[in-house]
Structure 1
Amino acid sequence: MPLSRRGLIGLAVSGSLAALTEAAALGGGRAARDVRRGHFRAIVIGSGFGGSVTALRLGQAGVDTLVLERGREWPVAPEPHLFGSAHGITDTMFWRRGTTRWPAMLPVPVRPGAGVMEVAQEDGLDIACAAAVGGGSVVYTGVTLAPPRRYFEALYPAALSYEAFHRKWFPKVRAMLGATPMPDDVYRSAPFTHSRLWDRQLHRAGFRTSALDSTFDWAVIRAELAGTAPLSATVGNSDFGCGNGAKKSLTRSYLPAALATGHVRLRALHEVIALQRGRRGGYRVEVRRLDTTGTVLETLELSCDMLFLAAGTLNTNRLLVAARERGDLPDLPAAVGTGFGDNGDQLNLRSQPLAFHGGSQGAPSASAAFLHREFELPLLVENWVLPTYQATPAVATFAMTVDHDHRGSFRYEPATGRVRLADWTPGKSAAAAQAVTAYSGRVAAANPGTLPVTINNPYPFTAHPVGGCAIGRCTDLSGRVHGHRGLYVVDGSLLPGNVGGANPSLTIAALAEHALAGIVTAGG
């Protein structure tokens, strides 16, 4: 018996995807089969934006699909800080790290385990990526923004029509995610005093700001403001998730809808470590089953006809480059692992000691400004918050630069068996840093009383790694990897090293929607 929409929504809001999986299984769908049976029509690695879209569209097409996610499921719970924060560090924050590492966070010893955020210290760049059911939607700032046409068309093949994305794919994703601008009553509330100050400072500098679409749940934000929900988003604690349900993550949209088809099964704490050609076609996937501390319980070998890589840019590149260099998938394109970029990510803090910033600073980003020609590189600047500084008279900016030049490559190290970002240098982040410093200087000059010295992040950092398997170069326009029937890439690896003046989540999901429409129509 199929689940009703009311039942689907109820399970999604409760955060119980495991319960939804079992409910679908009881309905007699193919999801009832255990993963140990070995073979699936399709396996999706990762449950973030690309993986969740893929799972839903395959499930709707009746394709027997298994989603493997290395991270844990984090249901909505009454605890105010389920994941931990800069003010309440826990062992659940970081993926297999013994010391915290995050912008403006002091290094503190923690017990390594299956935390919600991986921070890979690559040479010249820290790369942050999620490790959770729902992927980046659990830890991101909720911004749901499309790149401007001019930058999209400069980055992608001409056959990938911006008009089609503008009219069809971007709106389709926005509707699924429930993205809306911050309501005025929230914007006018005390925790968003810093947002209003940020807007005012930019307006004085001659920059026009506009409201951002967001996937924060404004009903929960209002409950926080009213004192009827545990505080999380309104006090800036969201980088490691909001345990009170303040984010409409993929666990409330694409994933429960996929599981409700009865053709999709999701397995958390299943880490894919190797890919190979199948003995009789298709693909073999080596998987470690973990417990909640990250300890390996057993190793499984699964197989499939269709394999979808949606493990996030860092881990998709790790898997594919290792498979090519070890000879497991020797004919992968030479371009796989190249063209990586940091999306020009930059953090900036600006202080105006005599202005009131509010008693706390809320996490949802209220507004942004596109600065196309003012500085060395085009900039998107967003009102942001660093929880460590929420009680200080300072406002934070997260900036993304349109950078077509600076790219890196992933390479396999035979001695260690690891794939590393091999050729990123601080100089590749320098142009973006200079543009953001110039922006902040202009804003400071237009606002008397603002400190002239700006503080940038002390080490290069990206929360938006993209590229390595660029669409149209390593794949066709539906993410099919050249020369490998049944192998697909549907995550941020498809983006050519830069989003084009936007956060990547909407573009990743829209590319996945576009790709799956073609794949389902063609039968593969």
Structure 2
Amino acid sequence: MSQMLNRRRFLQASAAAAASVGVSAIRTTAAGVDEYVEAIVIGSGFGGAVASLRLGQAGIETIVLERGRRWQITDTGDTFCTTENPDGRAAWLSPTTILPPPVPEIPIDVFTGVLDIKRGNGISAYQGAGVGGTSLVYGGITYQPTEELFYKVFPRSIKYSLLDRVYYPRVRSVLKSSPIPDDILQTKYYLASRILQEQAAKAGLNAQKIDIAFDWDIVRQEIAGQKVASIIAGQIYYGTNSGAKNSLDRNYLSMAEATGNVKIRPLHLVTTIGESERGRYRVVCNQINEQGVVLVQKSFVCRYLFLAAGSIGTTELLLRAKTNGTLRRLNNQVGKFWGTNSDSTTLMINASETNPTQGTPGVISIEHLDNPISPVILEPFQAIPFIPQGLIPVLGQGISKPQGYLTYNVSTQSADLFWPNNSADSQKNLQALQYTYQRLNQANGTSLAAPPNYTTTAHPLGGATIGKVCDPHGQVMGYPNLFVVDGSLIPGSTACSNPSLTIAALAEQSMDHFLNRIPWHRKI
């Protein structure tokens, strides 16, 4: 029986690998005839969702090619698996679960699940997969950086004042993000967050509520037992069964489809982008099933192409296009200036009960922006299985230099990721983080279970950055009507904040700029 299961997983994994690079015995559509559409958006995360809505509202025929599946919230509350009982829904085309240690790898069926990982040299980067992208698996945090720190990362060609006045508020209004209400914060599910608030105050550090893209009324229904316990049970990584999370499929993307001009095509894995005739672009993709088996290869031609497959996915498509000569004018900056947002994780040891089944991560933030070494923020995040009482998981973020990079591996037909986790900049950020933790520990009699871990990131950024590969509005240099609208634009960090809000705000700005300049009456 064991041999049969192992063989089954091997065959599933082999099919998944074929899907990822398009090397399967597949048929093509209509004898290789291209399907024309005015605009194509690759990916449906924060950048792609914004682009699709604004294109649809402008009356532009658009298709969204998304590698993952749809995840429709059901009344029975079983759309997603849970961290305690994972199955194939937990991971993208993987024979095991992929949460970081101390959670063990658990065998699962290969399936187009919601959480994906890119294992690199010196770092592993997490990302989402499905209609809604990483919003399916993130903590709903919509965190705006300060202007001072913003310009430690971004060029002055990006106007923070405009983002602050127009685009940050626009994104928050669509996501319906707001701070946690006091009645919910005072419940037992948020004990760890309240403890950290108190500890920050004792250490003389600023702790504040931050905006979260949740429907707090549904969270109240969870607390009352009227909805399946999801947010209050820390069910974030694999999706939220109660429907409390305002993921992009429930706002931007549903609004885009409602225009009648946008069609989302799930389970369409893009393999190739390149130039076509008359200044247009060709996109080739594999339509796959839920086990990752390639069903058919499709080819599209469009006038406007928007890349929103995430830092890893978009950069890989550009590197492949440069290597294979389908976008010959790409410069040598593609793949460079990649970073981790200075993500770190650790466990704080407390003498009292901390309730490890706390609710959503990041409902509060401890800011130490005047840290004498480098600015730091800390956020509690949801406890994962196997963490005992007395420990509080904490996510640290700072400002990391974009010293990582991706290169194209011809033999695997994929991008390889490299991160210098022992660089001088990484050591400086570690020292800054330790300085903040020491201040907390000295004031509260707490300690760390282990040094901060910098080997994983949930916030991969860069690879096609502003000023290097793209102009300030995301247009790829040398390629009119080819745009990057995701985290690939950002040089390694969003300046002591979670990236989703800034990614979406930059995408909103880019779409305004684009739509204000296109010739509306030009015919195909």
Scaled by the length of structure 2, what TM-score is found?
0.89
Cα deviation, 1:197-228, whole Å, max 9, x if unaligned, reads 11111111111101110001111110110011
Structure 1 unmatched runs, 5+: 1-34
Partner of 2:462: 467
User: How far apart, in 2, do the equivalents of 1:78 and 1:217 lie?
Assistant: 16
**Which of 455-464 and 258-267 deviates more?**
455-464
| Aligned residues of 1:78 and 1:230 also touching (Cα < 8 A) | no
Partner of 1:296: 294
User: How far apart, in 1, do the equivalents of 2:363 and 2:418 lie?
Assistant: 36
Aligned residue among 235, 239, 242 for 1:241: 239
Distance of aligned partners of 1:433 and 1:79 in 2 relative to their CA distance in 1, 3 Å threshold:
farther
User: How far apart, in 1, do the equivalents of 2:487 and 2:411 lie?
Assistant: 28
Q: CA deviation at 1:155?
A: 2.0
Distance of aligned partners of 1:156 and 1:458 in 2 relative to their CA distance in 1, 3 Å threshold:
closer
User: How far apart, in 1, do the equivalents of 2:404 and 2:462 lie?
Assistant: 9
RMSD: 1.9
| Aligned residues of 1:216 and 1:364 also touching (Cα < 8 A) | no
Partner of 1:476: 471
User: How far apart, in 2, do the equivalents of 1:462 and 1:79 lie?
Assistant: 33
Partner of 2:121: 123
Partner of 2:95: 98
Partner of 1:332: 330
Partner of 1:356: 353
User: How far apart, in 2, do the equivalents of 1:175 and 1:423 lie?
Assistant: 36
**Which of 98-107 and 428-437 deviates more?**
428-437
Helix, strand or coil: the match of 1:323?
Answer: helix
User: How far apart, in 1, do the equivalents of 2:431 and 2:98 lie?
Assistant: 24
Partner of 1:5: none
Distance of aligned partners of 1:459 and 1:80 in 2 relative to their CA distance in 1, 3 Å threshold:
farther
User: How far apart, in 2, do the equivalents of 1:431 and 1:326 lie?
Assistant: 39
Partner of 1:56: 53
Aligned residue among 394, 397, 404 for 2:394: 397
The answer to whether the aligner puts 1:420 opposite 2:411 as a matched pair is no
Structure 2 unmatched runs, 5+: 1-31, 520-524
Cα deviation, 1:274-327, whole Å, max 9, x if unaligned, reads 112113431111111111122211111111111100001110000001110111
User: How far apart, in 2, do the equivalents of 1:67 and 1:351 lie?
Assistant: 45
Alignment coverage as a number of residue pairs: 486
How many percent of aligned residue pairs carry the same amino acid? 34
Partner of 2:342: 344
Helix, strand or coil: the match of 1:214?
Answer: coil
Cα deviation, 1:39-62, whole Å, max 9, x if unaligned, reads 111000001110011011111111
User: How far apart, in 1, do the equivalents of 2:300 and 2:437 lie?
Assistant: 51
Describe how 1:348-387 pairs up with structure 2 within 5 A.
348-353=346-351, 355-358=352-355, 360-387=357-384
Distance of aligned partners of 1:265 and 1:124 in 2 relative to their CA distance in 1, 3 Å threshold:
same
User: How far apart, in 2, do the equivalents of 1:70 and 1:155 lie?
Assistant: 31
User: How far apart, in 1, do the equivalents of 2:71 and 2:518 lie?
Assistant: 34
The answer to whether the aligner puts 1:114 opposite 2:112 as a matched pair is yes
Helix, strand or coil: the match of 1:471?
Answer: coil
Helix, strand or coil: the match of 2:90?
Answer: coil
**Which of 265-274 and 76-85 deviates more?**
76-85
Q: CA deviation at 1:423?
A: 5.1
Q: CA deviation at 1:64?
A: 0.8
Helix, strand or coil: the match of 1:338?
Answer: coil
| Aligned residues of 2:355 and 2:389 also touching (Cα < 8 A) | no
User: How far apart, in 1, do the equivalents of 2:146 and 2:59 lie?
Assistant: 36
Partner of 1:85: 82
User: How far apart, in 1, do the equivalents of 2:220 and 2:35 lie?
Assistant: 46
Aligned residue among 407, 413, 417 for 1:411: 407
Partner of 1:185: 183
Cα deviation, 1:101-157, whole Å, max 9, x if unaligned, reads 223321222222211011111111001011010111111111101111012123222
User: How far apart, in 2, do the equivalents of 1:445 and 1:88 lie?
Assistant: 38
The answer to whether the aligner puts 1:66 opposite 2:63 as a matched pair is yes
User: How far apart, in 2, do the equivalents of 1:347 and 1:216 lie?
Assistant: 23
| Aligned residues of 1:216 and 1:248 also touching (Cα < 8 A) | yes
User: How far apart, in 2, do the equivalents of 1:85 and 1:207 lie?
Assistant: 35
Q: CA deviation at 1:419?
A: 1.3
Distance of aligned partners of 1:505 and 1:426 in 2 relative to their CA distance in 1, 3 Å threshold:
same
Aligned residue among 269, 284, 294 for 2:282: 284
